[in-house]
Structure 1
Amino acid sequence: MTEADSVTDIEQLIRQADLAMYESKLQGGNSMAFFNPEHDRSKRKRHAKKRQLEQAVSENELELYFQPKMNLRSNEVIGAEALLRWNHPDKGVLTPEQFLFDIETPAQQCEIGDWVMTQAVHQVSEWMKCGMDIQLSINVSSYQLDDFNFTSRLRALLYQYKVPPSYVQIEILESSALELVERAQAVIERCQSFGVSVAIDDFGTGYSTLSYLRDLPADVLKVDKSFIIGLQKDSKNWGLLKAVMSLASTFDKTVVAEGLEDWDAKELLLEVGCEIAQGYAIARPMKIEQFNRWYRQEQVAV
């Protein structure tokens, strides 16, 4: 072993001891912690991804795609959902599932959420200038729900871009709403107080109860795509959808079917009274230029 190697080993040992000491402090002190090489590698990987995402924001690599929602009875486009994408310089277009879960800090999660919300509200204002009457849904994370300034920022953006609140809808994952019931209820009521509607996304994947449906005053239930895909082949899915429609009627909520990938399922949805759907059978998520062209063509067709 050379002298340089010995110095490097000593420096590495000191760094590892510092990391173990820091971990002990995080545990409240008066405890013992050992350096874990695997944990260290995982942590380094997460930090690297965090820095890459920070760079993505500064380099304008993030972009919103738009997927339409359609009234199946009238064939009218009644809205769209804003979907985040990362135009990664090496990996191509990435969906949120491929990068957002690596972010551990609430601050950065809220920063990305605020970026999406700002871009979405601005896009609605651009549509209004062109005479395009579209309500846009914006996904809200559990971190944003837990941020007491969230609704104030949303209201400020609507005022800044002169967008009527009815043109915006926020979507909250069912799992997030169940995890933060009281906070979710407060956010929903605050949004509704100034005219923004609220949808519960991926409905049916959590452990919601009748009391949850009663107490959480959301306007819309978006039935998870796992219940819609294969609707014609699985009688259980058919029965569950009928039950959801009955509950929605009882609690005065609108239902949106996610994941409509087979156009033949349209009649089945209409048969149980589900008129609004979203999915590949209608259109895939699109860049803004493509969405605008698609929307105009659909308006002409109707």
Structure 2
Amino acid sequence: MCFLDLDGFKSVNDQYGHEVGDQLLVAVSGHLKSVLRGDDTLARLGGDEFVVLLSEVGSTEECMLVLDRILQAVAAPVLVGNITVNVTCSVGVSLYPQDNVDPDTLLRHADQAMYVAKEAGKNRYQLFDPESDRVAQEHRQFLELLSQALGRDEFALFYQPKVDLFDGEIMGVEALIRWHHPQRGLLAPAEFLPHLRGHELEGAFGQWVLDAALKQVSQWADAGFSIRISTNVSAHYLLSADFCDHLAQSLALYPNVPPDFLELEIQESAEADVERTIETLQRCRQLGVHFALDDFGTGYASLNYLRRLPVETLKIDNSFIHDMLTSADDRHIVEGVIQLAAIFNRKVIAEGVETLEHGAALRALGCRYAQGFGIARPMEAAAVPDWCRHWRDDAVWRQLDPGAAGLDIQMK
């Protein structure tokens, strides 16, 4: 079963009028009939949509030969009066019995495949893939589960400290979302956040994280514990129309939290609108918040973009930190990012610091700030004040002399 949609038909109607459009549809129908076999069926659903039922197709390859003829037939120029009109078509195809469903579902699957053909560039056909559809359905079901979990308050924030490797000062904590799944237990962000990418739920989760982080800092402040916090913000949420307004409203809800206690971490993105990103960050900076560029070195930022982007901090991706003690390439990359940050007058923080040895090497390279499992694993809010006291009392950072680079000692 083939679902055809003409590419550019609306433009023909808009440019030449509906009478020309109607004559074009008649001509396209004739072209299609000329390439179909005697037992095949052609029907117009309405507008510029057609359905072709190919009978007795012996193989996928045979079907594709007919589809190639269909594309060529539709693309043939049509003379209407003294006007030559050209259109193409996008075709979605569902094959029975490979796609073993009822006729209505076959038509729906062909329609879905047609949209894939449209998105792939038009003037082509796309075979419906039952496996891809199964994955897509599972994705939709998981999104619904995430929406329900958000409504049931199943998510929580854990907090990972960021410290100064030179004097041990605690610079703040990063808020990291976790899911208390009813059956699977505590899930890390990698288990569910990728499913949100580009979906409207991404904004809802972004709002929840921002509000929950500010609420926690406010509660700590009420208890006499003052600390800065950073949260991750997706490009989709950052560039939503009401992001700055929501940020201002959230800050206003917690007057005991100074705006400069909040840092928003953004990622480099090939799809992001550079000018809109810069404008949004500038507007938010006027509220008093700070920005960091997360996972630096793994994305798409040009030096010109970095120069213009109003961020104060670059975060070196942990993939470079992890092997910097054994890989000269990774060590050189880390050193290059540190030097680049200095050139652009940005702070730099290393992610993924797992040992005292890493900390010593980073400090020797001039990297002042760090976070990672070797300093502290993400912890629940109640554990943060005690951890801060122990960090100051133990003074582990004082062991970060050049000689420590030869030790294999886990930082507490």
| TM-score, normalised with respect to structure 1 | 0.88
Q: Residue 260 of structure 2 aligns with which residue?
A: 166
The one of 110, 117, 120 equivalent to 1:20 is: 110
* 1:185 matches 2:286: no
* 1:296 matches 2:389: yes
Q: Residue 147 of structure 2 aligns with which residue?
A: 54
Contact 1:172 1:199 in 2 (8 A): yes
Q: CA deviation at 1:16?
A: 3.3
| Equivalent runs, 1:117-266 vs 2, <5 Å | 117-162=210-255, 163-175=257-269, 179-266=272-359
- More helix, by proportion: 1
Contact 1:214 1:251 in 2 (8 A): yes
Contact 1:79 1:136 in 2 (8 A): yes
1:68 match: secondary structure: strand
Q: Residue 81 of structure 1 aligns with which residue?
A: 174
- Which deviations, in whole Å up to 9, do the C-alpha atoms of 1:52-71 show, x marking residues without a partner? 11121122211111100011
* 1:283 matches 2:360: no
Q: CA deviation at 1:128?
A: 1.3
Cα RMSD for the two superposed structures: 2.5
Contact 1:245 1:274 in 2 (8 A): yes
Identity %: 36
Distance 2:394 2:123 in 1: 71
Q: Larger C-alpha radius of gyration, 1 or 2?
A: 2
Distance 1:145 1:17 in 2: 38
Contact 2:297 2:316 in 1 (8 A): yes
Ranges of 4+ aligned residues in structure 1 off by more than 6 Å:
28-33
Higher relative contact order (CA 8 A, sep 6+): 1
Q: Residue 41 of structure 1 aligns with which residue?
A: 134
Distance 1:130 1:299 in 2: 19
Q: CA deviation at 1:49?
A: 0.4
Distance 2:138 2:254 in 1: 38
Q: CA deviation at 1:224?
A: 0.7
Structure 2 spans left out of the alignment, 5+ residues: 1-98, 396-412
1:55 match: secondary structure: helix
- Which deviations, in whole Å up to 9, do the C-alpha atoms of 1:86-134 show, x marking residues without a partner? 1112222212221122235531110111111110111111111122221
Structure 1 spans left out of the alignment, 5+ residues: 1-8
Distance 1:93 1:149 in 2: 31
Note closer, same or farther for the CA distance 1:25–1:200 as it changes in structure 2 (3 Å cut): closer
1:106 match: secondary structure: coil
Contact 2:168 2:392 in 1 (8 A): no
* 1:125 partner amino acid: S
Note closer, same or farther for the CA distance 1:237–1:32 as it changes in structure 2 (3 Å cut): closer
Distance 1:22 1:267 in 2: 55
- Which deviations, in whole Å up to 9, do the C-alpha atoms of 1:256-302 show, x marking residues without a partner? 01110011222222222211100011000111122233123334556
Contact 1:46 1:103 in 2 (8 A): no
The total of aligned residue pairs comes to: 293
Distance 1:126 1:46 in 2: 36
| TM-score, normalised with respect to structure 2 | 0.66
Q: Residue 274 of structure 1 aligns with which residue?
A: 367
Q: CA deviation at 1:230?
A: 2.7
Distance 1:251 1:298 in 2: 31
- Which deviations, in whole Å up to 9, do the C-alpha atoms of 1:113-159 show, x marking residues without a partner? 11111101111111111222211111001211220211211111011
